[in-house]
A = this chain, B = another copy of it.
Amino acid sequence: MPRYDAPVRDMRFILNDVLNIESYNNLSGFSELSEDLVDAILNEGAKFSKEVLHPLNMVGDQQGVIRNADGSVKTPDGFPEAYKAMAEGGWTGLSASPEFGGQGLPYVLDSAISEMMSSANMAFAMYPGLTHGAYSAIVAGGSQEQKETYVPKMVSGEWSGTMNLTEPHCGTDLGLMKTKAAPQADGTYKITGQKIWISGGENDFTDNIIHLVLAKIEGAPEGIKGVSLFIVPKFILDENGNPGERNACGCGGLEEKMGIHGNATCVMNYDGATGYLVGEPNKGMRTMFVMMNAARLGVGMQGLAQSEISYQNAVDFAKDRIQGRSVSGVKAPEKAADPVIVHPDVRRMLMDQKAFNEGARAFSLWTSLQNDLEHRAEDEATREKAGDYMGLLTPVIKAFLTDKGLKGCIDAMQIHGGSGFTREWGMEQFVRDCRIALIYEGTNGVQALDLVGRKLASKGGRAIMTFNAEMDAFIAENDSEDMKLYIDALKTTKGQLQEATMWLMQNGMTNPDNAAAASHDYLHIFGYTAFAYMWARMAKAALAKKDSGDSFYAEKLATGRYFVERMLPDVAAHLVKVKTGAEPLFLLEEAQF
């Protein structure tokens, strides 16, 4: 069975040395956040992930979820107990507002814990993850009464939550939605329709499930402008706010899928279920989008999380497995063969993963900090800038981290040779689980289109201009001899990004197909640029402590060098592809495929 040890050392480095989160002590939730407290939380999260969640990961994959005839489900052995332990540990409400019983800690810290839990058991972590998304949506768009009624029990882990968007005929294009909401005299609605691929749509460990459901009120405008958001509890609350009568909704079937077998992916049937409107009619997408950035950031981190755990096990295997001799001479003469880590091509795959994982962690935690700033900073300018960054960078994180994270899982499996293909070693599960992350919460193609079609141009391109200015300032401040390798790399990559952005501006406006055709490669250039910036920031922090006697910092600099020399060369290829325009993609008619 694979092992998992949370990368606490690396997280501490990013939070303390790179992001310097103590410096944000003017923000709510940050004020008492000493390095010691950060350490304590990270260590507790690591312990919980390793000891409680990870041992259930393979169990969950093998047992899957079973649906009973009455629509109830049995989750894998141990899942209910783990969920209770998670709630009791306060993990379900780590960054939620104290107003609703949360601990009010920074979202950036919650993100670090989320990475751990996703590494340890992705299928399990989705239950609290979706609940977090659901209560965030209620907080963002619900009435005060709705917040007080539902959010505290979700924060405490007594109730869970789900997000119901997709229908059989519509996923990306929610304007095609058919689920109907019929207004009732008492101000409630009767919700009727079918939703599919609803993660955690049913479970056997919470007293209630608060479904957030998108539906169209009778007579609503056509398309996406007629979509409203509803709270549809599994059990309608009684006068005391406790789960009472069973609502007319439930799990009509479970999806058989490639991975995340421990999560109940449900067909949800709503047969005139009682629902409560969240926010204004026909403005449901607005509330959804408020929490979408955080949800997408979370999915991006699933890519990192699966890559991280698969990397750890690939390292173990590469050190343990002996096979062949180093091409540059015997390295372990006392053994019948050298450990495979001596082979350069094994190193290549390990270093690719290591440089990706550490860059991805810095990038996602830095972006998570923007989420805190967006919601907690006192001055409007800071909130606005952070909000711009969240908007701009979320699609990059979602798509780039899952694309590359899957590659990492595939490489880690490859290092295992034949063992990687067997169930017993657990490596193939990481590939199967990770695979969904490129698809859900908007496919990676949709993310790329969101980036070039919406986020780049939004507010006159303010977000990317601010991001460029921030990188320029960093370059100007740190253009020293020590930093030369990392700063030069950032300059080059940033220049390539600018060239690609210019090309988009010149060619994408007149022909939107050009922008869409370039979107995948453009997003990757963006990802590499953000990583180059993160690696430069990490190099700066590592150089500052280089003489501390801790080899961690020298290792960090070495890994950064690998990133610069062996991973950034891909950017030039993406740039060439950006500039081909749409023409090569449309040489064939539809019928010619």
CB distance from A245 to the nearest CB of B (A): 32
> Which residues of chain B come closer than 8 Å to A354, judged between CB atoms?
593
A473 within 8 A of B: no
User: Of A172, A339, A350, which is in contact with the most chain B CB atoms at under 10 Å from its CB?
Assistant: A172
Interface residues of A in 426-468 (CB under 8 A from B): 428, 431-432, 435-436, 438-440, 443-445, 448-449, 453
Is A558 an interface residue when CB atoms closer than 8 A count as contact?
yes
Closest Cβ–Cβ distance, residue A396 to chain B (whole Å)? 15
How far apart are the CA atoms of A475 and B241 in the complex, in Å?
80
Specify which of B176, B258, B351, B586 is in contact with A421 (CB 8 Å cutoff): B258
The answer to whether B421 touches A435 (Cβ under 8 A) is: yes
Nearest chain B residue, comparing its CB with the CB of A445:
B345
A258 adjacent to B431 (CB under 8 Å): yes
Closest to A438 in B: B414
Bound complex: CA A513 to CA B582 (Å): 41
B351 touches A584 (CB 8 A): yes
Contacts of A580 in B (CB 8 A): 565-566
Q: Give the residues in chain B near A172, CB-CB below 8 Å.
A: 323-324, 417
Q: Give chain A interface residues in 84-129, CB to chain B under 8 Å.
A: none
The tally of residues in A whose CB lies under 8 Å from a CB in B reads 94
Contact B410 A439 (CB under 8 A): no
How far apart are the CA atoms of A259 and B420 in the complex, in Å? 12
- Of the candidate stretches A65-73, A212-220, A568-576, the one touching chain B is A568-576
**How many monomers of this chain does the complex have?**
2
Bound CA span A323–B196, Å: 16
Which residues of B have CB within 8 Å of A513? 326-328, 344
- Alpha-carbon gap, A341 to B593, bound state (A): 10
Contacts of A577 in B (CB 8 A): 566, 569
User: Is A307 close to B, CB under 8 A?
Assistant: no
Shortest distance from the beta carbon of A402 to any chain B beta carbon, whole Å:
11
Q: Return chain B residues, CB-CB under 8 Å to A570.
A: 573
Q: Specify the chain B residue showing the minimal Cβ separation from A255.
A: B422
- Contact: A423 with B256, CB < 8 Å? yes
Say yes or no for A506: interface residue by CB 8 A criterion.
no
- B435 with A431: CB separation less than 8 A: yes
Q: Are A337 and B435 in contact (CB under 8 A)?
A: no
Residues of B within 8 A of A258 (CB): 421-423, 428, 431-432
CB of A445 within 8 A of CB of B585, answer: no
Docked Cα-Cα span, A440 to B337, in Å, equals: 20
Contact B593 A315 (CB under 8 A): yes
The answer to whether B584 and A197 have CB atoms under 8 Å apart is no
CB-defined contacts of A328 to chain B, threshold 8 Å: 511-513
Task: Point out the residues of chain B lying under 8 angstroms from A423, CB to CB.
Answer: 256-258
- The reply on A319 being an interface residue by CB < 8 A is yes
A166 interface hit (Cβ, 8 Å): yes
Q: Is the CB of B422 within 8 A of A256?
A: yes
1/0 contact string of A476-520 vs chain B (CB within 8 Å) = 000000000000000000000000000000000001110111011
A37 within 8 A of B: no
Q: CA of A572 to CA of B347 in the docked complex: distance in angstroms?
A: 22
> Is A336 engaged at the interface, CB distance under 8 Å to the other chain?
yes
A3 within 8 A of B: no
- With A256-B424, A414-B438, A573-B570 known to touch, is A520 a contact of B348 (CB < 8 Å)? yes
Q: A134 near B: Cβ within 8 Å?
A: no
Which B residue sits closest to A62, measured CB to CB?
B256
From A314, which residue of chain B is reached at the shortest CB distance?
B593
Find out whether the CB atom of B257 lies under 8 angstroms from the CB atom of A421: yes
Alpha-carbon distance A334/B516, docked complex (angstroms): 23
Contact of A344 among B339, B414, B436, B517 (CB under 8 A): B517
Q: Is A381 an interface residue (CB 8 A)?
A: no
Known A-B contacts A417-B439, A569-B573; A585 and B344 likewise in contact (beta carbons under 8 Å): yes
CB distance from A199 to the nearest CB of B (A): 11
Question: Residue A176 contacts which of B337, B449, B517 (CB distance < 8 angstroms)?
Answer: B337
- Return 6 A-B CB contacts under 8 Å, by A number: A170-B323, A257-B421, A257-B422, A258-B423, A414-B438, A572-B572
Q: Which 8 A-B pairs have the closest CB atoms?
A: A558-B587, A258-B428, A344-B517, A569-B576, A327-B512, A344-B516, A256-B423, A345-B445
A318-B593, A344-B519, A566-B580 given; name 16 further pairs at CB < 8 Å: A166-B418, A256-B424, A257-B422, A327-B512, A343-B449, A343-B516, A345-B517, A354-B593, A406-B410, A558-B587, A559-B587, A569-B572, A569-B576, A569-B577, A572-B572, A572-B576
